[in-house]
Amino acid sequence: MPGFEVFGKEERAEVNDVLESGVLMRYGFEGMRNGHWKAKEFEEAFAKKMKVSHCQLVSSGTSALTVALAAAGVGAGDEVIMPTFTFVASFESIMAIGAVPVLVDIDDTLTLDPAAVEKAITAKTKCVMPVHMCGSMADLKALKHICDAHDLLLLEDACQAIGGSFDGKPLGSYGDLGCFSFDFVKTITCGEGGAVITNNEVFKTHADQYQDHGHDHIGKDRGAETHPHLGYNFRISELNAAVGVAQLRKLDDILALQKKHYRLLRDALASIEGVNFRRVPESGEENYSFLNIFLPSEEKAKKAHKALSEAGIDGCFYWYTNNWHYINGWEHLKEAKSLGALSEPIRTKLAQLSTRQFPKSDHWMGRNLSFLVKVGWSHEEVKRRAHIMKETLQTLL
């Protein structure tokens, strides 16, 4: 990770197809395309890769979440349960359609705690949104059981975990809908882009329509299409999709390299007393894009982060004090700093965050260090990094 590390002639060839045709938009202009439909090609290939019936490409991972929620009928006043550790896009996408984000604790998977989810369910709850952070998954079996028992949607945010699996299924395909990001720093990239996957025919149709102003996409005359529903513009461009076509072909090789590098780093740290690894749910496999460890205390984690950075280990994250990925840094959310007026249900729920504590999340996040696993490293570089990480942590602990 990330996919831009392996940019090459394959991406340039796909993009050049689009540039030579001059058609940068994914819809229309059939006579000018020279047979190139990059978004359609990517969607078909990605659906096959994810072992689902349908894929809808969109402009970003954030828009994928928004489109997925809208496609499933989530809207004003509905509550969506999400974790305290994620990217800000999670609550942004929920609030964009007028729904209410309900934040709950994580556990040692660094993802949604099923027990906390069950406690947070109300009559207004419509959806549970686990976020498979840093390459590994939530306890999907437990979450699905909860969703089935309460007739709730299970929407997987797999934006950081493409290529991982649970119970033999690709992450994103286990729930009712799955979402992915193909931004510049993801495992595979379109530059900017995202995808919604599902096996549900209704959700598929709604996603297709909503991401393109409500167009029904029936026939070959775009100007004659009807608008069964209100929508918005979350379309991907042919240029971005073209990059993704080439990147998707490289996914298996990227994952294999990530796993190889991950194993070398993990093996180096496994014998250090005081170092523990995040829990991967039984029958799950990470995509190996991050190595996550827990240290004995918050103090030790802070010191280790500083020492590792000083030792030249870049890509070491202490999310607990990060502005974008943990609730401690989301003052703009807690204080409802919106450019436009927010609905009363949203304002009421956000007001609770200013005083609410998340001790279980703090327990895990305060002791966590997360190491990015790159595919561009040589074998010697991985060994060098593993040696520095091991010596630094042993000295500290």
Q: Are residues 90 and 71 in the same domain?
A: yes
Position 5 scores a pLDDT of 95
Percent of the chain with pLDDT over 90: 98
55 DSSP assignment? E
Q: Is-catalytic flag, 186?
A: yes
Q: Are residues 264 and 236 in the same domain?
A: no
SS3 category, 110: coil
Q: Are residues 149 and 51 in the same domain?
A: yes
The per-residue pLDDT of the chain, averaged, comes to: 97
Domain hosting 215: range is 3-250
User: 216, 250, 284 — which closes off a domain?
Assistant: 250
Q: Are residues 231 and 262 in the same domain?
A: no
User: At 264, which CATH number?
Assistant: 3.90.1150.10
Query: Which pTM value belongs to this model?
Result: 0.97
Q: Are residues 51 and 150 in the same domain?
A: yes
Gap between the Cα atoms of 139 and 117, Å rounded: 11
- Indicate the number of domains in the chain: 2
pLDDT grade for 1, boundaries at 50, 70 and 90: confident
Q: 106-156: per-residue pLDDT in tens?
A: 999 999 999 999 999 999 999 999 999 999 999 999 999 999 999 999 999
User: 185, 217, 250 — which closes off a domain?
Assistant: 250
Q: 61-84: per-residue pLDDT in tens?
A: 999 999 999 999 999 999 999 999
Q: Are residues 259 and 122 in the same domain?
A: no
Length of the chain: 397
Gap between the Cα atoms of 71 and 208, Å rounded: 9
Q: Are residues 57 and 73 in the same domain?
A: yes
Q: Are residues 193 and 260 in the same domain?
A: no
Residue 209 has pLDDT above 90, yes or no: yes
Q: Exposed, middle or buried, 76 (CB in 10 Å: 0-12/13-18/19+)?
A: exposed
Q: Are residues 151 and 285 in the same domain?
A: no
Gap between the Cα atoms of 271 and 293, Å rounded: 13
User: At 86, which CATH number?
Assistant: 3.40.640.10
Q: Are residues 115 and 212 in the same domain?
A: yes
Q: Are residues 160 and 37 in the same domain?
A: yes
Determine contact, residues 281/140, Cβ cutoff 8 Å: yes
Taking Cα atoms as reference points, which of 101, 113, 41 lies closest to residue 74?
A: 101
Which one from 38, 49, 144, 186 is the annotated catalytic residue?
Answer: 186
Position 2 scores a pLDDT of 85
Q: Are residues 279 and 384 in the same domain?
A: yes
Q: 329-373: per-residue pLDDT in tens?
A: 999 999 999 999 999 999 999 999 989 999 999 999 999 999 999
Gap between the Cα atoms of 227 and 301, Å rounded: 54
User: 217, 250, 283 — which closes off a domain?
Assistant: 250
pLDDT grade for 315, boundaries at 50, 70 and 90: very high
